[in-house]
Structure 1
Amino acid sequence: MKRAPAVLALLAAVFVAAIPIAATTQQEGAGATPATAPPAAGTPPAAKVVHEQDVPYYEACAREGLNESECAGRLIWFKATAGNERFHTYVFQQRVGVLIDWYRVLRADQRGDRFRAWGIINDPSCCVPGAKNCPAKSLDETYGFDWCPGDEELLGYVGRGGYPEPACDFRDAPLAQGDPHGAADQRQSACDLRFGTSTGALGIRKFPNPRFDRAAWIRLNGHAGSWEGYGRPIAAAGGGGEAARSHLQDGAVEPPFLIGTSCGSCHIAFDPLNPPADPANPKWDNIKGLVGNQYSRISEIMVSGMPGNTLEWQMFAHARPGTSDTSAIPTDQVNNPGTINALINIARRPTFADEAVLKWRKAASCSDDKDEASCWCEPGRSGKCWKKSPGNDTVHHILKGGEDSIGALEAIQRVYFNIGSCSEQCWVNHLSDLRQLDPQQRGFGQTPFDIGQCRRDCPHFRAIEDRLGDILAFFLSAEAHVADLRAARENVRRAAMPTATYTDQDLIADLENEFGAGAVARGSEVFAGTCARCHSSQPEALAGAFAALDFHKADPATGMREDWMGNDRATPVSEVGTFRCRALHSNHMAGHVWQEYGSETLRARPPDPNVKEPGDGGRGYYRNVSLLNLWAHAPFLHNNALGPELCGKPKNAANDFYAQRPRYVDGTSVRLLPPGEQPACFEYDPGVEGRFRLYKASMEELLNPAQRVPKVTLLNEDVTLRIGPRLWDGTEKEKLLGFSLTIPHEIEGRGVTAGTLGNFQHKQFVVDLVRARTDAKSLGNDLAQRFGAETGDKVLQDLQAIAGELAGKPDALVAALKARPYLIKQIYSSCTAEIENEGHRFGEDLPEADKKALIAFLATL
């Protein structure tokens, strides 16, 4: 099938008329050679080509009516890795010690199972080698991965240098008017955005590894298209309690690709208004970039090469589909997964004026400040300077606790650090090393990284920073507009009959047929009186004037709904009553790694007095969430725990993570319910009615807390942390010196939660254990101050007893901790909460008819 050159001409006319686009002739699924199109009138002579892999993205820009800046931001959001392919291939594996098995996640022969296993979305432009019309005829040609546009060139550079990075041809949008950095284009080279080509999964990108040795790879794996030998477990000599190893952590073996991720890897999702008929085979018009992927198992992806009995697996892989622990890499040791934000109607999202913010700001010179720590001008540029200064700013509250609170542009930039950009140049050496137990050594705790130093030393930082305005423009574009149930149902009808309509009155009639006569109108009244205090952004709601609120009011100029259906204000976690561990997230605190991304106003918030764990530094709060399009975004709460559990039921049982880790427990013993008593999970269904069924079931749980079956993520096997030097020559002759610290999966008949491990402050425990032998008096004073005299004395006595029991018998620590479980679960825990779907009991006392009315009304938002 030929792609008409007129398509590209149309795109040029729609949103980039000033820049000519190279026409391409495309065989379906095949590569193409760009040909030069005639230049449009008045265009620069040195126009850049459009790569074949970019064509669907520009078509989407035309379909959504995006302007040049919005379209540029969209392409960056979907493709730019900002150099994190080194992080995901080397740094994460070898420095952080967490292994990703990219072949397990992305192998082409399981493309049809990929969404159900990992929740990631297949790239519609890619194909399985050997399939009809696929340019690659065997898996050996693509090293076991999908074939994707651009691979006709990329594959030729595997094992050699010189790859022409596609991002170098990125077409920048015009500069913003009035930029302090001047009228001339001084942006960092677009090459440093780093696009590569698709892996076959949207948002996950690949680059050719110039250090790859094909012959060595075949010796290890049997043939070029297999990674089996690379990821195969190697038995460790430490015994059954010691985690197996694999060549994934062997720096001497180079894979064919370096794998990077874009921000879209979490946020790209199926369009609720136009879901795919088959989620494993979506079309481009089924894809949106800002909705947030509620099926993504990003945490399991990040530890896909780790055995289950490792500290790292248990710290990462506790998150539900659609959630991510953004502080797992910085290891704040707080079990705190949060939902991937749905970026909807951002133009109406509340902001907060006069917050105290210390940050770097654009400046035209540093003439009055020669200290590079507070003012810096980029060499070779004219007036492109940055000055670090305090100010009272208007900011958003982005993360669940409002931690990204120094401005929208900076919050976007921080996402790139979360996905690994600039790790070696900027921040990896500021992380806590989980196995560093000497408080005098680097890596024992976190330290703040310096944004100014990162800007100077990392060109990828500057490449993103110079285009943050375009990404924000994309956030504010039509692609972020709401996806109403009415429009979704109309689209379903039009698929069968193009002239079909489905009006607001049709929706109300159907909802009232299901929930009762007058339900929508009554639900609006119930919402105003019960929910609007937190879930309305209208000034009248903040003033308490709920009765006159119109929750569907739209801006006549844009058609955008005026109410964001949330006010983003911080609420003490004890008032909300939900699982509090996420509210105790600490990486924004002074002295911690993301310190420079938190406002001084945030850090000055007083602790929630009703929370027993430490709450200094602005911790202990949740911002409420928007209820826009709630019908499409169940389950609920910040951890997706409220509502039925989601499951993919993939064909490959090894990737059936829900089957491996059921969640429902007996609330008394915190032990898993027997298989026959476990409520059924909801299989992934991104269709319109599938989302609506999940919404209704989740709303029933929200409004009827007494009927919720408690959910807890439990350890499913003992986890052993080996403390001490290791001697290993790659055989069974490994020797392990020191002692082992084992967290049993059951203590005194009660299940041990994954949070018990994730929240266990094992470093402080080991330090105090040593002090119990060497400086008991000082330790006793510290413990009394932390826990009170009576509890402090008990802890000191138990630590002294354990230290005595360990003398000459390092393995006795396991039994010692089993005999004193309170040390793990209470004293040395950053958060002691267990039930993950508790809290948010607002509305539970409503009459049953009002609950149904509220469910009906919220479906119209």
Structure 2
Amino acid sequence: MDASSGDPGLSAPRDEPQGGLTEAGTPLNKRDETCFPAEQRNLFGDLDMVAGPGGTLHRFDYRTNGEITRDARNAIKGKNTWILWGEGNDVFWNWVQQHGYGLTDFLVLVDSRNRGIRFAKFGLMNQPGMKAQTDRAKRLLGLYIDQADGERIKLQQPADDIDPDTRALAARPPFGKHCRAFDPWDEDQYAKVLAQLPDDGLDSNVYGYPSGIVGLRLMPNPDFFGKTEAAEKARDYWKTRIEDAPGDPYYSDISVNADPELVRPFRVSMSCGFCHIAPHPLNPPSDAEQPEWSNLSTTIGDQYWNPVSTFGNLKKPDSFLYHFLASQQPGTIDTSLVSTDHINNANTIIPVFDVPARLDRALLNPPEEQSSDNLLVPQIEDQPAGINPRHTPRVLLDGSDSVGIFGALSRVYLNIGAYSEQWKQVQNSIVGFTPQRPFAVATALKNSVFWRTADKYRIPYLAAFFTYVSSSDSQSITRPMHLADTPIGKPIVEAELADAAQGRRVFVENCAICHSSKQPAGFTLEFSRDWSSKDAADGSKLTLPMDFAEWEDFKKSDRYVEYVEQIATLAGHAIDPRQDPFLRDNYLSTDIRVPITLVATNSARAVGTNAMRGQVWDNFSSETYKSLPAVGEVPFFNPFSGAPTDAWGNNDAYAPPGGGPGYYRPASLISLWATAPFLHNNTLGEYTGDPSIAARLKAFDDGMDKILWNAKRATSTFHLPGDLRGRMALADGDRGFIYRTDRPTWIDFPARFIRPLLEGVIGPFWTSVLTTYLWWGLAIGAAVLAFLGRPRHAGFVFAVLAVLGAAALRASRIDTVYPLLWLAPAAAVLIAALLWFAASHKRWTGRVSFALFAVASLVASLQATAFIDGRKGDLRIGPFPTGTPVSLVMNMNPAAPVGDVLEAAFGLTRGLLRIRKDSLGDGPAWDAFRAEAAGPLMRVSKCPDFVLDRGHWFAETLPDEDKRKLKAFLKTL
């Protein structure tokens, strides 16, 4: 059955251009797809410099015989889309700013006073041609926004950007008269505000205004500037709270920037470039805070992007949620951060390399069956359109994107907020703890102008950008970036050429089975625990073991020896890896899903569940993916079991579900020298925070040594933040990097978000039950009994309360922390006895008892309502002790058996209460929490695998000399 069958998703709200209203009800002008034309001018020609003969860098050449063809123009439009286009997601990020539980605010993030430290602190790229504005007297509506650095802000169009039809410079797309988003409250005043914003020459109706950070653009907020009474109140409230307030409370006071009533003047649009544009490995800036466009690459992926300072910029280090984001390393992002799968499972912001070769490999891998929902997503891999099954590359590291590269790009925009009107309906954004529903492509096509614009134009343009091959050198913009093409790297590569040539042989014999897109004809991989009994003469089909423990035995098998002979023949010989036909147009990955039990790295990303049947990404994963078998038991290190570990540091195992989870596709090894730290979560190798070539090589050396020599992981003196080994005794037994909190922390939410938080999980009705209906019902019942009841009836109520109280104490075992709590049910028993026996003839005692019940119920209702409405202050759950593994708490599975979930909640509560009761410090606090909470939380963990830097031990048995030569070869890729 297709995911959309019986799904009410088609009734999801229309997006703003189609519906003509904001979520807050501000009227908008309706617009269609023609209102969002792609910028066609080659304004970012200096971005993505490519190496020519001898390593000389030059612009990518889009010309053929001196002209820019239609395909080349589409590629330029795709590049501009990648850098600029948010697909209307400013609607979603505005919701996050205003209603996102006080986690992040992008208007705070773009604070111009941070321009000098944006790369160092946030890993973000300053837009060239702009400068800081730090003068409080020059704030715009109370905001510090980067300003133009004279005419340098204007994006420059090269003289050869000629339209062959007009024989003139390609022009900016015309602005449609019916395409204005909304009518402002006052044309002159609105124009004055817009005149103060920086202008880089783009169509502000489509792309807004530059924020000063590449990938983030400012869009005027109709709920602030609109012609409505609510917008007028919003402007007045903003002026009082921000513009006229002493100091700058918007940037420093959580009660101000986490106020859900505070409507911002600007919404922030996010493009793909926000995460993917970074310093160019071949041409890094001398000062990362002041890059030129030529110092940046759109395809390398931002290895320096900092999750906690970007997506948690309103949180402080004493917040557990701060450490949740801090546990995700620079250059990674949890793609299920908003559509949470209840697993802390960040993955690398991947570089986009050699897409044409990747598509070639996809056509050789087995095609995948698609549902009718999947087929609503266009594809570029196969012809004719609509063919089923489809050939598809893998984009996400777990191989779940499996409807084609078109669908993968569409899902990326969904995941950064496109058509959030439906996205928010099918999940409880950010918080989770409710069942997901599929985001329905059919609904998006019906109700979203932005989605249709992407389908018709923007995604095809992106595909053209990544696949267009320049006629001048027959390579795409996603070509490899070779160390030998740098002044620093060239002599290093030349000095190691002999070793690299020998290392090439080691690579072909040991690594190419996963890390080469060029394979013997008919190459197919299967995985089985019965691999040794498979027919050795089955063509080019290889059956690999499911488990890493059997890898060395497999390599000794006749079938693998035969494969090595075949791949060696295909690879041939090359003295200089820089002139190697086998490496040219080689994606250096098979893109085939491999069981996590064989890869043996941290399994958190592999067992993500968002693409399973019925989950939020259902429409973007194939039927083949949804039918994948379970991988069986995954070994891992359990820090709480006390059991001895095996040779690889594991002492426990868990079994992920079938139906998709449990696999990784091999990473490409292209430009490996430039992309350390390694593994899917960037945890293996030293993080330098420095984009220089020397620093990249330092990170490569450290990371590659740890890949090739497992022992170097344990003996390394470099420890990432959150790795407490050697710093605290509680972590000394960890068999790898487990991110632990380095101080006492609280799960905290600002007071005004307590009601939305609870309503998001249990719904408005049950929230009202807990705050009003229950207590008023009890109060009314008690009031009636005050007139009709007898003392024995009151005694029965007290007896019931005693039983319920005793049951709650024993079930939760909170009495083991506070034994005196037994006085409450004991007192209730005593009162019941008195009412039954000593006062049974005194009717007034029953009336007084029920009257007190009624009053207590009303008081409880008032207190509960005050708490839920935030009148009792912020919500702070804790303290979680120093040394708490973040994933122990964040991986709690709400769909686990109810009894286990309750025991986990009770255990967590007991642990926190023990710490608070005895005011325990570091060490004893962790011991108390561990004793009460660790076991129950592990039983409900969706992924109990916490060691982040383990696995990929395939080179462990190679001779040291082979490892050294392999490393020299990998450096040349």
Q: Does 1:81 align with 2:86?
A: yes
Change (3 A) 1:830 1:731: closer
Counterpart-to-counterpart distance in 2, 1:819 and 1:434: 30
Report the counterpart of residue 780 of structure 1 in structure 2. Answer: none
- Deviation of the 1:416 alpha carbon: 0.5
What TM-score do the two structures reach when normalised by structure 1? 0.68
Identity score, percent = 26
- Deviation of the 1:718 alpha carbon: 3.3
Q: Does 1:838 align with 2:864?
A: no
RMSD: 4.5
* CA deviation profile, 1:233-261 (whole Å, cap 9, x unmatched): 4xxxxxxxxxxx53333232222321110
Report the counterpart of residue 768 of structure 1 in structure 2. Answer: 899
Counterpart-to-counterpart distance in 2, 1:49 and 1:462: 12
Q: Does 1:858 align with 2:970?
A: yes
Change (3 A) 1:48 1:581: closer
Q: Does 1:432 align with 2:428?
A: yes
**Partner amino acid for 1:546?**
I
Is this contact kept in 2: 1:357–1:390, CA < 8 A?
no
Q: Does 1:123 align with 2:119?
A: no
Q: Does 1:282 align with 2:282?
A: no
Counterpart-to-counterpart distance in 2, 1:141 and 1:96: 22
Change (3 A) 1:728 1:280: farther
Counterpart-to-counterpart distance in 1, 2:251 and 2:186: 23
Q: Does 1:207 align with 2:219?
A: yes
Is this contact kept in 1: 2:632–2:655, CA < 8 A?
no
Is this contact kept in 2: 1:636–1:642, CA < 8 A?
yes
Report the counterpart of residue 68 of structure 2 in structure 1. Answer: none
Counterpart-to-counterpart distance in 1, 2:335 and 2:892: 18
Report the counterpart of residue 390 of structure 2 in structure 1. Answer: 393
**Partner amino acid for 1:230?**
Y
Report the counterpart of residue 76 of structure 2 in structure 1. Answer: 71
The match for 1:262 among 271, 275, 281 is 271
Counterpart-to-counterpart distance in 2, 1:804 and 1:561: 58
Look up the SS of the partner of 1:712 in the other structure: coil
Change (3 A) 1:261 1:763: same
Q: Does 1:567 align with 2:590?
A: yes
The match for 1:580 among 570, 582, 603 is 603
Is this contact kept in 2: 1:232–1:246, CA < 8 A?
no
**Partner amino acid for 1:768?**
G
The match for 1:639 among 681, 690, 700 is 681
The match for 2:337 among 313, 328, 331 is 328
Q: Does 1:446 align with 2:416?
A: no
* CA deviation profile, 1:507-533 (whole Å, cap 9, x unmatched): 543225xxxxx3112111111122111
Report the counterpart of residue 696 of structure 2 in structure 1. Answer: 691
Q: Does 1:510 align with 2:509?
A: no
Counterpart-to-counterpart distance in 1, 2:38 and 2:657: 51
The match for 2:499 among 509, 513, 519 is 519
Report the counterpart of residue 403 of structure 1 in structure 2. Answer: 400
- Deviation of the 1:741 alpha carbon: 6.0
Q: Does 1:752 align with 2:750?
A: no
- Deviation of the 1:689 alpha carbon: 2.1
Report the counterpart of residue 596 of structure 1 in structure 2. Answer: 619
Is this contact kept in 1: 2:374–2:619, CA < 8 A?
no
Counterpart-to-counterpart distance in 1, 2:142 and 2:572: 56
Report the counterpart of residue 4 of structure 2 in structure 1. Answer: none
Counterpart-to-counterpart distance in 2, 1:702 and 1:843: 8
- Deviation of the 1:310 alpha carbon: 5.0
Report the counterpart of residue 250 of structure 2 in structure 1. Answer: 230
The match for 1:488 among 486, 489, 496 is 486
- Deviation of the 1:464 alpha carbon: 1.3
**Partner amino acid for 1:413?**
S
Is this contact kept in 2: 1:208–1:256, CA < 8 A?
yes
Q: Which structure features the higher share of helix residues?
A: 2
Larger mean Cα displacement after TM superposition, 477-486 or 817-826: 817-826
**Partner amino acid for 2:242?**
N
Q: Does 1:220 align with 2:241?
A: yes
The match for 2:745 among 714, 718, 722 is 718
- Deviation of the 1:830 alpha carbon: 0.5
Task: State which structure, 1 or 2, has the greater radius of gyration over its C-alpha atoms.
Answer: 2
Is this contact kept in 2: 1:320–1:641, CA < 8 A?
yes
The match for 1:473 among 460, 464, 470 is 464
* CA deviation profile, 1:173-211 (whole Å, cap 9, x unmatched): xxxxxxxxxxxxxxxxx999x411221110011112341
Counterpart-to-counterpart distance in 1, 2:442 and 2:477: 33
Q: Does 1:540 align with 2:552?
A: no
Structure 2, unaligned runs of 5 or more? 1-33, 49-57, 63-71, 156-174, 226-233, 379-383, 469-475, 524-539, 541-562, 635-653, 715-735, 749-753, 759-769, 772-863, 918-924
- Deviation of the 1:575 alpha carbon: 1.0
- Deviation of the 1:799 alpha carbon: 7.7
Look up the SS of the partner of 2:947 in the other structure: coil
* CA deviation profile, 1:420-459 (whole Å, cap 9, x unmatched): 11111x211111367686xxxxxx2111121100111111
* CA deviation profile, 1:649-689 (whole Å, cap 9, x unmatched): xxxxxxxxxxxxxxxxxxxxxxxxxxxxxxxxx2x221222
Change (3 A) 1:421 1:540: same
- Deviation of the 1:755 alpha carbon: 1.1
Look up the SS of the partner of 2:424 in the other structure: helix
Report the counterpart of residue 626 of structure 1 in structure 2. Answer: 668
Counterpart-to-counterpart distance in 1, 2:928 and 2:273: 46
Counterpart-to-counterpart distance in 1, 2:512 and 2:47: 36
The match for 2:509 among 510, 515, 529 is 529
- Deviation of the 1:397 alpha carbon: 1.3
Change (3 A) 1:56 1:799: closer
Is this contact kept in 1: 2:321–2:747, CA < 8 A?
no
- Deviation of the 1:802 alpha carbon: 7.1
- Deviation of the 1:318 alpha carbon: 2.2
Is this contact kept in 2: 1:336–1:582, CA < 8 A?
yes
**Partner amino acid for 1:860?**
T
**Partner amino acid for 2:250?**
Y
What TM-score do the two structures reach when normalised by structure 2? 0.61
Look up the SS of the partner of 1:519 in the other structure: helix
Is this contact kept in 2: 1:358–1:390, CA < 8 A?
no
Is this contact kept in 2: 1:48–1:170, CA < 8 A?
no
Change (3 A) 1:720 1:276: closer
Look up the SS of the partner of 1:258 in the other structure: strand
Alignment of 1:667-686 (within 5 A): 682=688, 684-686=689-691
Report the counterpart of residue 146 of structure 1 in structure 2. Answer: 146
- Deviation of the 1:720 alpha carbon: 3.7
Report the counterpart of residue 656 of structure 1 in structure 2. Answer: none
Report the counterpart of residue 835 of structure 2 in structure 1. Answer: none
Is this contact kept in 2: 1:58–1:71, CA < 8 A?
no
Is this contact kept in 2: 1:361–1:388, CA < 8 A?
no
